[in-house]
Amino acid sequence: MKKVILLLLTLPLLLPLWGEERVWCLITDGGECVAMGDVLCLAAADDDSTFAVVLTSGVTIGGVRRAHFDIEIPTGVTKPGIVVAKDILHLTNAPAGSNVSIYSIDGRLMKHAKSDEAIDVSTLPDHTYYIIKLGETAFKFRKP
């Protein structure tokens, strides 16, 4: 009897998970899971071994080397897009006013700024990987 009562009490908690809609998703080598309906196009250049996933929202997931397709429950979580133009780094899809820290691969703090400002990265060496920490989220980026 106790097992039946326990099952009846937990059933309302499990029902929302049961009905989750699974859709075809593009899954990048960085672990981002994007519903195919949100993918606008894939952009690549002949001189680079990576490509970018451009979403219908205008956000770009750059530096993708590999991706695969699977039926998943999309998370709706997209890492911020990174745009570097003339040694100025801009973050898209980032909460306004968030703290941004740029670290070298060995953990040295290289730059600190706010997410809603242009970040001058001219003093950082080119063709090098960095870790960007945005709030509590961290992701890698390669300066071209």
For residue 104, what is the enclosing H or E element?
strand 99-104
Look up the domain containing 49 and give its range.
23-71
56 falls within a domain: yes
Pair 89, 108 in one domain:
yes
Residues 83 and 34 in one domain: no
- pTM exceeds 0.85 for this model: no
Do 94 and 139 fall into the same domain? yes
**Percent above pLDDT 70 for the chain:** 77
Domain membership flag for residue 13: no
- Residues 21-43: what's their mean pLDDT? 81
Identify whether residues 32 and 60 lie together within a single domain. Answer: yes
Beta bridge partners of 100: 113, 134
For 62-83, the pLDDT digits (tens) are 888 888 888 776 555 556 667 7
- Report the pLDDT averaged over residues 133-142: 78
pLDDT of residue 79: 60
Yes or no: say if 94 and 82 are a contact pair by the CB < 8 Å rule: no
> What CA–CA distances, in Å, run from 79 to 13, 92, 95, 111, 132?
29, 9, 11, 19, 11
- C-alpha atoms less than 13 angstroms from C-alpha of 123 in its C-beta half-sphere: 8
The domain that holds 87 is classified in CATH as: 2.60.40.10
- Average predicted confidence (pLDDT) for the chain: 76
